[in-house]
Amino acid sequence: MSAAPQLQAVYETVLYGPDLAALAAFYTELFGLSRIEGGPPDLLVACRVPDGGVLLLFDPAAASASGREVPAHGATGPGHVAFRVSPEQLAAWREHLERHGVEIEREVRWSEDLRSIYVRDPAGNSVEFANGDLWA
């Protein structure tokens, strides 16, 4: 197989949920991601991630409809995403989530310094906060 050209980064990461308004509120109001205007609001909400990437939230039924300008997709059931936070911010996230009534489902200590906390978004997706490169 010939060598692949270069990929720079994951640009769009996608999560799905049937209640798009609730999902959008979770990631914009609670997580503080800025909403990017432009998507049809019954189809998707786009959120800017600080490193230049985008988190796209889709209604899976609308996303799987044929006839859109882009290919159809749309998964159901709980997905997963992990966000990277600085080591000194992980405790601040735990406190922020608990203050706003979001249950910490699990905390995993991978090593002396590396740990993750896990919560659920309103669609049931498993959302992780990792304070370093767990896969190094």
Site for its own copies in 94-133 (CB under 8 A): 96, 99-100, 105-106, 108, 116, 118, 120, 125-126, 128, 130, 133
The only residue of 45, 60, 102, 121 in contact with its own copies, by rule CB under 8 A = 60
Q: How many CB atoms lie within 10 A of CB 57?
A: 27
C-alpha separations of 23 from 6, 33, 63, 82 in Å: 33, 12, 15, 16
Interacting positions 11-30 with its own copies (CB under 8 A) = 11-14, 16, 29-30
The only residue of 22, 41, 65, 75 in contact with its own copies, by rule CB under 8 A = 75
- Asked if residue 84 binds its own copies (CB under 8 A), the reply is yes
Chain centre to alpha carbon of residue 126:
9
- Asked if residue 61 binds its own copies (CB under 8 A), the reply is no
C-alpha separations of 9 from 113, 126, 134 in Å: 26, 22, 18
Tokens of 55: 């988190």
- Asked if residue 6 binds its own copies (CB under 8 A), the reply is yes
